[in-house]
């Protein structure tokens, strides 16, 4: 047999050639039987990398198993919920003890005979006796509307209609003598006719068993140039009109007037809520941060030293505001040249309406908007 080496049939087979490092490692191992330290370090590093990679893969595997387990549990829960039928819950039409309330409508600052030309207030408002009558009648209509709306949740048998002064403008300013549409006495006659019509309307359509009318005189309806204190009631056109109306309804089983000579008038509701009515002009406010709130609260604190009231109700500032311990009323006349001159904020003509609940006190404060036309939009 020939001693020649047999060549591989596959020509693609190649002889493996050691690298310089591998040859060095092999030679050292043959001679000493040990591995060079640098190759051991490299080997350890590679082993550490392999262990870290294995740890990372193991963590990902566990996370995947947890996600699959949670998904499986959610699927099982949904499969169980599809067979669950909701229970039938019945709610009674009325719950608990039936509520009882007294409705309070506040009438002040009507200024029925005053003139407001649209040109003098950038067409934000306009006012004359005809507009006054339209707004007053809407005021009484909205009292009935809001009362009926409120009766959906509470029993209302009594209405307090608070007449709080400045229902006429009078002649306390010389400008008024020039611009008002009529003198104080004709204005009082116009006002009295509208009040009689309004009270009769409330009797007929309001469904009230009692209409209680506390009265306060304002600072505009006086016969004197300067404000009086001890004799203010005796020098008030409005106070005279109140007594005329009281005599007219003296034998009426529904309507009752309360007329005091004092600046403050107290009315107790449900034997526990003392309401204090007044015009508001004795609260001194000359502008400043916080608006009327600070002087009002100071005045209330002083009055409460003699007799504590649950709520103060007043007008004068032509600004409707629920101050928590007080209700400030808006006006029928609305924005005028005087308000523009003193930089007062614009406010639509409106009056205040609220409820006094037997168990909760003051609730459901509503504005009574008395003018449909929106002057701000120029309609």
For residue 375, pLDDT beyond 60: no
Closest alpha carbon to 216 in 175, 257, 264:
264
Is 216 exposed, middle or buried, given 0-12, 13-18 or 19+ CB atoms closer than 10 A? buried
Mean pLDDT, rounded, for 9-34: 66
Q: Which residue shows structure tokens 């009515």? A: 277
And the tokens for 269?
Answer: 């509701």
pLDDT tens, position by position, 242-297: 999 999 999 999 999 999 999 999 999 999 999 999 999 999 876 666 788 999 99
pLDDT at 47 over 50: yes
What pLDDT, on the 0 to 100 scale, is given for residue 129? 97
Q: Which band of pLDDT confidence, cut at 50, 70 and 90, is reported for residue 379?
A: very low
Q: Is the pLDDT of residue 28 over 80?
A: no
Higher pLDDT residue, 62 or 107? 107
Residue reference for tokens 């191992």? 29
Given pLDDT bands bounded at 50, 70 and 90, which one contains residue 138? very high
What is the average pLDDT value for the chain, to the nearest integer?
87
Q: SS3 of 8, please?
A: coil
**Domains of the chain, residue spans:** 22-79, 100-377
- pLDDT at 176 (0 to 100): 83
User: Structure pTM?
Assistant: 0.75
* Mean pLDDT to the nearest integer, 306-325: 96
The model's pLDDT over 322-345, given as tens digits with 9 standing for 90+, comes to 999 999 999 999 998 878 776 778
CATH fold for the domain made of 100-377: Purple Acid Phosphatase; chain A, domain 2 (3.60.21)
Give the phi and the psi of residue 12 in degrees, each rounded to 5. -80, -15
Stretch 72-76: mean pLDDT: 82
CA distances 52 to 45, 55, 340, Å, are 11, 5, 81
Which segment of 8-22, 24-38, 169-183, 269-283 scores lowest on mean pLDDT? Answer: 8-22
Instruction: Pick from 6-15, 48-57, 189-198, 328-337 the range whose average pLDDT is largest.
Output: 189-198
CB 108 within 8 A of CB 320: no
C-alpha span between 236 and 263 (Å, rounded): 12
Cα gap 314→327, rounded to integer Å:
7
Does pLDDT of 44 surpass 80?
Answer: no
Has residue 18 got a pLDDT over 80? no
Which of 29-38, 59-68, 118-127, 226-235 shows the lowest mean pLDDT across its residues? 29-38
Looking at per-residue pLDDT, the higher value among 370 and 177 belongs to 370
Q: At what angle do helices 129-150 and 184-205 cross, to 10 degrees?
A: 20
């Amino acid at each position: 047999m020939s001693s020649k080496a047999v060549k591989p049939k596959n020509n693609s087979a190649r002889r493996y050639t050691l690298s310089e490092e591998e040859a060095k490692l092999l030679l050292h191992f043959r001679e000493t039987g040990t591995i060079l330290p640098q190759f051991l370090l490299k080997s350890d590093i590679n082993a550490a990398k392999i262990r870290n990679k294995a740890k990372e893969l193991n963590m990902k595997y566990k996370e995947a198993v947890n996600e699959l387990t949670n998904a499986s549990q959610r699927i099982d829960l949904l499969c169980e919920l599809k067979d669950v039928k909701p229970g039938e819950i019945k709610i009674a039409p009325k719950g608990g003890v039936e509520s009882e309330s007294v409705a309070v409508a506040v009438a002040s600052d009507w200024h029925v005979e005053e003139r407001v030309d649209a040109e003098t207030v950038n067409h934000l408002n306009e006012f004359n006796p005809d507009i006054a009558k339209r707004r007053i009648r809407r005021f009484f209509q909205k009292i009935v509307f809001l009362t009926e709306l409120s009766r959906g949740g509470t029993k209302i048998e009594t209405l307090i209609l608070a007449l709080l002064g400045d229902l006429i403008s009078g002649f306390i300013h010389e400008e008024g003598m020039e611009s008002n549409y009529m003198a104080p006495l004709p204005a009082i006659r116009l006002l009295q006719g509208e009040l009689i019509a309004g009270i009769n309307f409330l009797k007929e359509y309001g469904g009230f068993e009692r209409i209680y009318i506390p009265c306060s005189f304002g600072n505009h309806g006086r016969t004197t140039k300067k404000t009086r204190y001890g004799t203010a009631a005796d020098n008030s056109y409005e106070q005279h009109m109140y007594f005329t109306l009281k005599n007219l309804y003296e034998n009426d089983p529904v309507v009752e007037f309360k007329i005091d000579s004092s600046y403050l008038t107290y009315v107790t509701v449900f034997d526990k809520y003392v309401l204090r009515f007044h015009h508001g002009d004795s609260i001194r406010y000359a502008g400043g941060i916080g608006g009327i709130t600070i002087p009002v609260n100071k005045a209330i604190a002083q009055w409460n030293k003699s007799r504590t009231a649950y709520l103060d109700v007043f007008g004068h500032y032509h600004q409707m505001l629920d101050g928590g311990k007080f209700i400030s009323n808006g006006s029928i006349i609305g924005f005028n040249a005087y308000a523009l001159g003193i930089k007062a904020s614009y406010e639509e003509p409106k009056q205040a309406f609220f409820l006094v609940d037997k168990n909760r006190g003051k609730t459901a404060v509503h504005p009574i908007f008395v003018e449909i036309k929106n002057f701000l939009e120029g309609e």
